[in-house]
């Protein structure tokens, strides 16, 4: 089981990361070895997060803090606050630009969570921040951050992850609805994750809901025992 496919509540996510995550963008602060981004591809999503054809996440920056009388969706997404400090956009922007211009050798490591349903989240996995662009959305300028999926190794080393290993958000949402948020084998509603019925390593696909189901940790263990018995 890959850590990327866990299903957790908002509170569990906060407990895992030991911090409030309302902002949705959290740049690493030195103590933390990675940054955090929360994404959503749901219809009600506030921002337009997407994947390109190579499986890179294109994450939209965030709006300025709400102030009286100003429509935040009509003004440019800011790099700095009104008091001249970097916003989270600004911190991610600087990290991406530094990596692009060889000022920094190792790209910023970013853990991504995605929203599945109200209060329901799934780990998308680790990505490296490789690029940023400021583009017009027709009304104002927004940031687009480019992130490549990776497998994390010890000592902060990463390997690129084949993009078709990632279960697309649309598949996760369909499976969540089809399996009604429960383990398909025992009905448990805790310690859930998205399981490849035919494992990815054995040629099973991530790209269709037919090969993806919800399992609990217990049923997943007995599944691996069965696979071991078949092998032995
Ligand atoms: Zn189960």
Question: Is residue 54 one of the residues assigned to a domain?
Answer: yes
> Measured in angstroms, how far is the CA atom of residue 189 from the centroid of ligand 1?
8
Asked if residue 136 is part of any domain, the answer here is: yes
Q: 153 and 200 in one domain?
A: no
pTM: 0.89
User: Based on the domain organization, do 157 and 186 belong to the same domain?
Assistant: no
Residue position matching structure tokens 């383990």: 183
Going from the Cα of 6 to the center of ligand 1, the distance in angstroms, rounded, reads 14
CA–centroid distance, 217 to ligand 1, in Å, is 7
**Domain-ending residue, one of 162, 181, 211:** 162
Binned at pLDDT 50, 70 and 90, residue 29 comes out as confident
Domain assignment of residue 53, given as a range: 3-162
Is 76 within a domain?
Answer: yes
Rounded to the nearest whole angstrom, what is the distance from the C-alpha of residue 195 to the centroid of ligand 1? Answer: 11
| Number of structural domains found in the chain | 2
Ligand 1 is an ion; its neighbours by CB within 5 Å are: 183, 185-186, 188, 216, 219
Taking only the tens place, the pLDDT of each residue in 38-51 is 999 888 888 999 99
Ligand 1 centroid to 214 CA: how many Å? 8
pLDDT, mean of residues 177-201: 95
Residue 223 has pLDDT above 70, yes or no: yes
197 CA → ligand 1 middle, Å: 14
Instruction: Return phi, psi of residue 99, to 5°.
Output: -70, -40
Question: For residue 93, what pLDDT band results from cuts at 50, 70 and 90?
Answer: very high
The answer to whether residue 116 sits within a structural domain is: yes
pLDDT tens for residues 139-182?
A: 999 999 999 999 876 656 778 877 778 899 999 999 999 999 99
CATH number of residue 90's parent domain: 2.30.280.10
- Looking at the fold, whether 220 and 122 belong to one and the same domain comes out as no
CA atoms in the 13 A half-sphere facing the CB of 155: 0
The alpha carbon of 192 and the centre of ligand 1 are apart by a number of angstroms equal to: 8
Whether 100 and 121 share a structural domain: yes
């Amino acid at each position: 089981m890959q850590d990327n496919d866990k299903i957790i509540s908002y509170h569990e996510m906060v407990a895992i990361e030991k911090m409030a995550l309302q902002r949705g963008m959290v740049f690493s602060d030195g103590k933390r070895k990675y940054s955090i981004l929360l994404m959503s591809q749901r219809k009600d999503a506030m921002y337009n997060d997407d994947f390109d054809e190579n499986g890179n996440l294109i994450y939209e920056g965030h709006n300025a803090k709400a102030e009286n009388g100003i429509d935040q969706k009509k003004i440019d997404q800011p790099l700095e606050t009104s008091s001249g400090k970097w916003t989270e956009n600004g911190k991610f922007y600087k990290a991406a630009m530094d990596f692009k211009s060889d000022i920094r050798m190792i790209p910023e490591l970013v853990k991504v969570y995605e929203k599945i349903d109200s209060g329901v989240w799934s780990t998308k996995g680790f990505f490296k921040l490789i690029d940023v662009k400021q583009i017009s959305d027709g009304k104002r300028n927004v940031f687009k951050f480019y992130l490549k999926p990776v497998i994390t190794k010890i000592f902060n080393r990463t390997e690129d992850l084949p993009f078709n290993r990632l279960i697309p958000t649309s598949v996760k949402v369909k499976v969540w609805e089809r399996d009604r948020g429960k383990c398909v084998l025992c009905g448990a509603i805790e310690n859930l994750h998205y399981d490849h019925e035919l494992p990815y390593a054995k040629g099973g696909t991530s790209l269709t809901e037919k090969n993806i189901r919800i399992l609990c940790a217990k049923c997943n263990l007995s599944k691996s025992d069965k696979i071991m018995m078949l092998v032995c």
